[in-house]
Structure 1
Amino acid sequence: MKKILKSTIVSLVALLSVNGCNYLDIVPDNIMQLEDIFETKEKTYSALADCYSYMPNIYKVHTGTALLGDEWIERFDATVAENRGYCIGNKIMRGWNNTTNSLLCYWTGGQGGTHTYEALRMCNIFIDYLESDFHIIDLSEVERKNWIAQIKVLKAYYHYFIIRLYGPIIINDVNVTPMDDLETVRRRRQPVEDCFQYVLGLLDEVLYNEDGSEKYELQTVTPAIFYGQVNRVIAKALKAKILITRASPLFNGNSEYYSNFVNENGEHYFPQQYDPEKWREAYEACEEAIALAHEQGHKLYEYTDKYRSFDIDDVEESEIMKACYNLRFAITEPWNDELIWGHTGPCDGSNLNLHNTSAIRYQPVNSNEFTHQWLGTSLDVVERFYTKNGVPVDEDKTYYEESERFDMVKIPSDTYHLGYMQPGETTVKMHLNREPRFYAWIAVDRCIWRTWDLRLDIKLRSGEFPGGRMSDNHPTDYFWTGIGVKKYVHPESRGYVASRTIQYPYPLIRLADLYLLAAEAYNEYYGPGQVAYDYLNKIRRRAGLPDVEQVWSDATIVNTVGKHTTKEGLREIIQHERLLELSFESQSYYDILRWKRADEFYTRPVRGWNAPDGKTADSFYQVITWQPRTFTTPKDYLMPIPYNEMLKNPNMIQNPGWI
């Protein structure tokens, strides 16, 4: 929601609910206070907003989930042992999570995590009151049903959010009360299939009548003043994402990791047998969500405004200029047609977010800027992007051999690189002839970055401006790996103060995501086919790339000709496409986990260039291993249940590998 209103219901939840532990708390009679909260439409709306206020703050750099995975690399403190950083997500990727002080704890709240069960208790109170015969002044029946439906979707989302983190969870369908006996209060974790069924049931309750027909109590279109509130398109898109997760290898027949993960009765928490029909259900849900999204006017973003004056000449000549405009604004143009669900969060200095920490500095040193220039990415991510032919670098016969990709070279003045690299400057071969998404979203030394409503020649070597490490700046405020990220910086944002920063919703679900999910589910159930190709090609064409069937059939370009014609080959192509299109959007971490591929990605150290000390091309383009990463399988696939919760509830069973 555009403005989150905190209400006194927070304190009432603390009084009226039992937190799995405070079994002997004496709870006063607060019925009148609750009646006051739901007395009028205005007050009830405040309670509705409060339920939304527990949306996880994904975009916050220090305390959000965005830095889980290998995409974002924070600033390091080289004066502290092991280059310890400050961001909790990166700490988890170092292998520093624990049970006594759990990082990003969304089970009970703390260390950056939201107290999800508190959020669910608030949702239950809201639904209970609005479904009762309690009269709320000025609230229409249409509004009442819509608000109930919204909170049921939120309940589904909150449950789903912690299922992805913890696996089997405690389903919080109804609140426990002080009158409940001890065994009722000490609730048990449920098998993940039961958890998924519960969440899907909540969404179906909102979307369909008992006879299976469409239900319209939940708004189909969200009024502009309420952007961020859920609607039927969001609910169907969320259902599709949940079904994809349920069908994926981590949760579908995972006897490899969880054959011994059972409850006190010996029942498995994870399904032990693979069920291919889950992919069919997921595909059908994707198609249904896409159809409704199209019906409501959602489409892949296309830039139709005037090009910037400094780009007018190049637009007519550059092969990738238009694609890059599409790609930059697809993320940063507020509430554009591609965005299905967005999270609006504060964009101020007290809450460092993806935008201002990845933005480039462009004011004199020591000025009071709103940009910080220290959140970047790694060489592994740079290597992950396609060549200009739309295939991985190791698959492209026409691309540089692995042994020469780090060789230095002068940037050519050809039309392909026009407007995105600085002709005549020195770079490495790996920075040339890459796909448009690379140039739109990645900032490398001697690139061009449209920001501050300017076209800046970026110089990332030590002592250079703008972009490099400056001795007069904060000692850690620079891109330590020598690689920045443009994706979340609106080209018109100016970093003087927060008010000059273009604010936009953080993308939770966009149409491109649904297209890729549909392609994935189709291939997993039916195998390769035109349906999957068409969804992939929608994404690729917008990114300025050739169709998947075309390039993967060309023996002059690819090593593995016909890779797209096998289920396994197309699976790799689809997964790679997701990692690129949704890069830096807090999607890849969960994708890699559900695919059971964490060992491939999360055990590799952080590599980058010698940004702190490299003042020349020769000294800058030295590969530095900045930080080790640790991931233990299967332990780190699930977050730990806090140790205190284990002590308070003897019915609680810990996740595998955690003690």
Structure 2
Amino acid sequence: MKHKNKKMGRLKKSINTAFLFFIGLLLMQSCSEEFIDVVPDSLPTIENAFKLRNEAEKYLFTCYSYLPKNGDINYNIAMLSGDEMWIPYQTSIISDAFEIARGNQRISNPYLNVWDGSSAGGGPGSLYRLFVGIRHCNIFLENLNDLSKVPDIESSERKRWIGEVEFLKAYYHYYLLRMYGPIPIIVENSAIDAPEDEINVRRQPVDDCVTYIVDLLDKAVEKLPEEDQLVRTTEAGRISKTIALSIKAKTLLIAASPLFNGNADFATLKNNDGTLLFNSNYDENKWKLAADASLEAIQSAEVNGKSLYVFPTSSFSLSPTTMTQMSIRQAVCERWNSEIVWANPNSKASEIQRLAMPPLATNHNHNDARKILSPPLKIARMFYSKNGVPINEDKTLDFSNEKELRTATNAERFNIKEGFKTARLNFDREPRFYADLSFDGGIWYKYDSPSKSDEGNVWYVQGKFGDYAGASHAFHTNETGYFIKKLVDWNQVTNTEGGATYKDYAWPEIRLADLYLMYAEALNEAEGPSPEVYNYIDMIRERAGLQGVEDSWANFSLNATKPNSKTGLRDIIQQERLIELAFEGQRFWDLKRWKTAASVLNAPITGWNIKGTDDLGYYQTRSVYQQIFVSPRDYFWPIPESAMIQNPNLVQNLGW
């Protein structure tokens, strides 16, 4: 695809050093020795930045510094903007994303505005400024491609650095495309004295945006190292060939999905010159391209030693039930484990663990275990039964009265405290339900288990009003009665004085399980059900302690033939993806690209009655909030009103 190139002009000879350092400092957290240090000590003027390798490396890390901090609940756009987790409103934390979930997005100072970074009150959007990040990438590429610059760098390292920044530039375009739909393509920076029409860029058609991003990623792949060529102690988190191939696959997957592929809802969106920005014709071949790209990413990952994580044998005596749950939990939390394709060095997951963790005993401090990340009842219902099928399809188990009280038996002691009475919804569920969630009576196994095993004296949640994890705190309240266990590393320790220690981990942007499900989804859409599709779903289900798709549906589902059709298997793959990647910031984007957000995000947020003090009072369904999602408007972010005023060539997304 040919793109209109903008003449490369010279930017100002110097950039305010203090400003750039301030931005880098804001965007980055301090890093341990396991992370690449992407915070430069200082930044020289442009004329000095590329005289020597050491100064050029600082500019490289500035390009890295715009990577979104997805391990931070305030900065991960997807976590609180949708319906996957709810928080108490304006008490424990103030979240711009949560304003979006509550239907308060606006075009004047939009929440989580990464278009130009302006944000009322200096919120998260003010730190992202992705077009500024792209500008820095362009400066870097212009100078590193000039062989007269940085004379003391080895040619192989120059090539690698160029590949890294080509990836970052492509990734920032991809991130903007996912949020805003058609975007301007910034091939090169314009001079400050360039003609007005060159400075006032236009949005480009979606297909052109995808082609540009994919072509740039292909260029980067040729220059990037394999994963096993990175030095673990100093380069963990730097971009590898597998990471670039994975983002290429993700780009092609969203391009093939209903939001972008033949979406008639946006057929009227066009530039002022009449250029249509969406192709309303459906193209099945886009799924084939996505499948091929996903398989290539998988093969690259596996060649570099990636595999689905399995919790190793522990010095503690653990049951097979707990070992399976630990494999599921630690696939996210275990640092640099075999399943992590890309861990984001810009974001370490410490505070998010504190916000997820509930107090488990009377001396556990509510400030160190805030328990505010609350999955709604519909998320609890989403997980399969113990037979690996949806709870409303299981022909052997009845979940129709989900609040019916039942007492946990000895056989259920690894999931629910023996002798504890809790809701029927919490029984007979798949291992991922118990690995990802906890609830009133739910076991929370971790390193400092009083019994040093999962038998006898073990931690469990007590969530009724007035209990340790109950809703009696003035600020730190769980809104639904469900708690997120998945994001808390099992090494979390609460000491006798009430303080807590959390083991940091770099936020996993991409896991191998994600790639497997991407491939299964794209291949099913391109070719329909096949042994290959089943295989990639079943590998994940096996790790999760479940039978394969065909056997589970044949033996336990009211709809036994569901996996045999493209539409039936599509539903299965989508639910499998929502379960496997729960609480990792994927659901929000998936609901949008599938065009199911309009129905899912208009359903009420509900939970148990958190003010209940006894079984009967607590296990009543409580309406927390009625979400409103306006279609097609809310599928994309609004372009900031200020940007529209400054650039008359921009057109606003529909509905805003």
Shorter-chain TM-score above 0.5: yes
Does residue 326 in structure 1 map to residue 323 in structure 2? no
Tell me if 1:642 matches 2:656. Answer: no
Q: Who is 1:503 aligned against?
A: 504
Match of 1:242 in 2: 251
User: Which residue identity does 2:136 align to in structure 1?
Assistant: M
Matched, 1:206 2:203: no
In structure 2, give the amino acid aligned to 1:419: F
The C-alpha deviation readout for 1:228-257, integer Å capped at 9, x for no partner, is 1111010111111111111111101111x1
Name the counterpart of 1:518.
519
Superposed CA offset, 1:412-441 (max 9, x none): 221xx2322111111011100000000001
Structure-2 residue corresponding to 1:19: none
Q: CA, structure 1 residues 369+453, in 2 after alignment: closer, same or farther (shift >3 Å)?
A: farther
Structure 1 residues 45-444: aligned runs within 5 Å: 45-65=57-77, 66-77=79-90, 86-109=94-117, 110=119, 111-113=123-125, 114-136=128-150, 138-207=152-221, 215-221=222-228, 222-224=230-232, 225-255=234-264, 257-307=265-315, 309=316, 312=317, 315=319, 320-345=321-346, 353-361=351-359, 367=365, 369-402=367-400, 404-414=401-411, 417-444=412-439
Aligned twin of 2:569? 570
Equivalent-residue separation in structure 2 for 1:430 and 1:589 (angstroms)? 24
- Check 1:600–1:437 CA distance in 2 against 1; reply closer, same or farther (3 A cut): same
Measured against aligned partners, the alpha-carbon deviations of 1:128-155 in whole angstroms (never above 9, x if no partner) come to 1111133325421111110110010111
1:590: which partner in 2? 589
Q: Which amino acid aligns with 2:137?
A: C
- The amino acid of 1:241's aligned partner reads K
| Aligned residues of 1:361 and 1:495 also touching (Cα < 8 A) | no
Q: Structure 2 CA distance, aligned partners of 1:370 and 1:39?
A: 47
Counterparts of 1:461-476 in structure 2, within 5 Å, are 461-465=464-468, 467-470=469-472, 473=473, 475-476=474-475
* Letter in structure 2 aligned against 1:75: P
SS where residue 448 of structure 1 aligns? Answer: coil
Q: Distance in 1 between matches of 2:213 and 2:440?
A: 46
TM-score by length of 1: 0.88
- Amino acid in the other structure paired with 1:476: F
Paired residue type of 1:437: R
CA drift at 1:43:
2.1
Q: Does the 8 Å contact 1:76/1:476 carry over to 2?
A: no
Unaligned runs of 5+ in 2: 1-14, 24-42, 450-457
* Offset from partner CA, 1:505-525 (integer Å, 9 cap, x none): 111111000100110111101
Shift of 1:577: 0.3
Identity fraction in percent: 33
Shift of 1:452: 6.0
Paired with 1:578 and 1:199, the residues of 2 have a C-alpha distance of: 25
Partner amino acid, structure 1, of 2:460: D
Question: Is the Cα contact below 8 Å between 1:553 and 1:562 reproduced in 2?
Answer: yes
Cα deviation code 1:78-128 (max 9, x no counterpart): 8xxxxx973222210211000012000010113312101000001111111
Contact 1:441 1:486 (8 Å CA) reproduced: yes
Aligned residues: 604
Q: 2:392, 2:249 → 1: CA distance?
A: 33
1:290 shift after superposition? 0.8
Aligned to 1:531: 532
Contact kept? 1:13, 1:122, Cα under 8 Å: no
How far the C-alpha of 1:605 sits from its partner, in A, is 1.5
Aligned twin of 2:487: 488
- What residue in structure 2 maps to residue 3 of structure 1? none
Residue 649 of structure 2 corresponds to 651
CA RMSD of the aligned region, Å? 2.3
Does the aligned pair in 2 maintain the 1:363–1:369 contact within 8 Å? no
* Aligned partner letter, 1:332: C
| Matched residue SS, 2:186 | coil
**In the alignment, residue 269 of structure 1 is paired with which amino acid?**
L
CA distance in 1 between partners of 2:255 and 2:446 (Å): 40
Query: 1:186-221: per-residue Cα shift (whole Å, max 9, x none)?
Result: 1101111111011001011122xxxxxxx3554543
Amino acid paired to 2:74: H
Q: Is the 8 A contact 2:402 2:424 kept in 1?
A: yes
Which string of whole-angstrom CA distances, capped at 9 and with x for unpartnered residues, describes residues 269-307 of structure 1? 111101111111111111111111111000000111315
Native 8 Å contact 2:226 2:304 kept in 1: no
Kindly provide the amino acid, as one letter, of the partner of residue 343 in structure 2: G
Contact 1:149 1:218 in 2 (8 A): no
Which residue in the other structure is 1:626 paired with? 624
Q: CA deviation at 1:444?
A: 0.8
Give 1:649 deviation, angstroms: 0.8
2:443 to 445, 448, 458: 448
TM-score norm. by structure 2 comes to 0.88
